[in-house]
Amino acid sequence: MIQKTLKVALNLRINENVAKEVADAVLMRANPHQSELTDKRLTEAEITRENLMKYFTEVGKAVAQFWENQDDSSAELTLKPHELRGLYMPVIYGVIFSSIGNIQIGNYLYVVKAKDNGLPDKKFLIEFSAKLESVRDVLKGATGQIGNRAAQPQTTVMSCLLGEVAESGRTASMLIRDGVKVDNALAGLSTMVGLSLVEEAYTCMYTGYEEVNFRQLTDSLVDKGLMAVKKDSQMSESDN
């Protein structure tokens, strides 16, 4: 008997409040002791909450474009894969965006779409990436985290959806696909990148429900990411 593979298209749409929580986590880790010297360096490099929020959002748009292009080669790409790999990702950004992508789970093929996201701001991404890398001694991270065709997305991440984000931005609800056991905090990444269904017909598959606390999640993700950061040369792959 031939088994049919069903394609589940997912939007990647960053929530402003979530972007704010992530930006605050990056700044807190970069300057945990409120050093005036570190604060001055970050300010001079224009590493502000607002710019970090924009970077998080624009990276999300670019990542969505990349994965949509992997599924449909005619889909538009604002940044080429090697340009994506060249972007400097603060640790938590790298953990989040390297965990999503097109993946087959059972009879379902999950594909990321850039539907209605708007085009990423290429100039801002490249310029702000350079500013982040200029303070890499205090703002830990790496290049080569996104734009990798051979990347292996997290199954639990791609099996969950964003429900609702609280007005404070500190918590959100997560919808979980039938039969999926969510046994690690990484599943909460689906809420951080705003994974949601393109076709509402698949809503009936998601009967599980969990609450996500972003403050707790960002702390654990930074710790995981600091252990997993690799040298740029180890993460690079040949250009298109």
Flag whether 239 is in a domain. Answer: no
Give the closest residue to 221 by CA, choosing from 38, 13, 82, 22: 22
Give yes or no for residue 26 having a pLDDT over 90.
yes
| Residue from 144, 146, 69 nearest 114 by CA | 69
Q: Following DSSP, what letter does each residue of 49-88 receive, concatenated?
A: HHHHHHHHHHHHHHHHHHHHHHH-TTS--SS-HHHHHTS-
Residue 236: its pLDDT value, please? 42
Residue 164 in domain: yes
Q: Average pLDDT of the chain? A: 88
**Cα 21 to Cα 28, 52, 159, 216, distances in angstroms:** 11, 10, 23, 11
Q: Does residue 220 register a pLDDT over 80?
A: no
- Domain assignment present for 237: no
Residue 93 covered by a domain:
yes
Q: How confident is the model at residue 224 (pLDDT cuts 50, 70, 90)?
A: low
The larger pLDDT score, comparing residue 117 to residue 28, is at 28
169 domain residue, yes or no: yes
Tokens of 156: 């639990």
Residue 240 lies in a domain: no
Question: How many structural domains is the chain composed of?
Answer: 1
Q: Which residues contact 36 (CB under 8 A, 6 or more apart)?
A: none
Mind listing the pLDDT tens digit for each residue in 177-191? 988 777 666 788 999
Look at residue 123 in the predicted model and tell me its pLDDT. Answer: 98
For residue 234, pLDDT beyond 60: no
d(CA 188, CA 106): 21
Q: Assign 219 a pLDDT band (cuts: 50, 70, 90).
A: confident
Contacts of 58 by beta carbon, 8 Å cutoff, 6+ apart: 120, 121, 124, 125
Is residue 238 domain-resident?
no
In a domain, 1, yes or no: no
Q: Taking CA 113 as the corner, what is the angle to CA 48 and CA 4, rounded to the nearest 5 degrees?
A: 150
Angle at 167 between CA 59 and CA 140, to 5 degrees: 35
Query: Is residue 225's pLDDT more than 60?
Result: no
| DSSP letter, residue 145 | S
Its domain, for residue 153, covers 6-231
Digit-coded pLDDT (tens) for 123-160: 999 999 999 999 999 999 999 999 998 888 999 899 99
Q: Coil, strand or helix: which one is 131?
A: helix
